Amino acid sequence: MLFSYNWIKEYIDTQLSASEVAERLTAAGIEVDGVSSEGPDIKGVVIAEIITKGSHPNADRLSLCEVATPDKTYSIVCGAANMKAGDKVALAPVGAILPGGHKLKKSKIRGVASEGMMCSEVELGLAEESGGIMILPEDSETGQDLVTALGSADSMLDADILPN
């Protein structure tokens, strides 16, 4: 039988990890065969706030944005038009890993360095289509890991229910 670690946490207030819960269930007589991670296949994507949005000096359809987390301000070149200063967005800085194992590298877009990318739901593997970058609620905490903030990270516990 498969069940969700997040589902267990709805009923039991615990700070134990999924693996620790599995160990305790096994010790109590419910044999847990394994624990597997579920959720989007992304790492290092964080919530950031757009500080400024300006025109790209060498392209009409691109924007040059300053995007900030509590630790750093990034210069990002973006082709989406659906954002403005003050918006909270999903930022994949250099080194972040997107679905398919794509690791972001610093790049120059039309002669301007970009230190990452602001992502759409499609680029994050969260939706089939989108109308631009992912705009998050105003009360989203900048610097927080996106997968954690969305609550989409989970573990599945595979338990054998024995006849006794």
76 and 15 inside one domain: no
Angle made by CA atoms 47, 101, 88, in degrees to the nearest 5 = 10
- Digit-coded pLDDT (tens) for 68-93: 999 999 999 999 999 999 999 999 99
Q: Domain range spanning residue 68?
A: 46-144
9 and 31 inside one domain: yes
Which of 12-21, 29-38, 39-48, 57-66 has the largest mean confidence? Answer: 57-66
CATH number at residue 134: 2.40.50.140
Identify whether the C-beta of residue 153 lies closer than 8 Å to the C-beta of residue 110.
no
Residue 164 is predicted with a pLDDT of: 62
92 and 128 inside one domain: yes
Q: Who's near 87: CB < 8 A, 6+ residues apart? A: 49, 50, 135, 136
| pTM for the full predicted model | 0.74
What percentage of the chain carries pLDDT values higher than 90? 48
CA distance 140 to 120: 16
Residue 86 backbone class (left: φ over 0; alpha: ψ -120 to 50; beta: rest): left
133 and 65 inside one domain: yes
> Number of structural domains, the chain?
2
Q: Which two tokens stand for residue 98?
A: 């997107």
124 and 63 inside one domain: yes
Residue 135 is predicted with a pLDDT of: 95
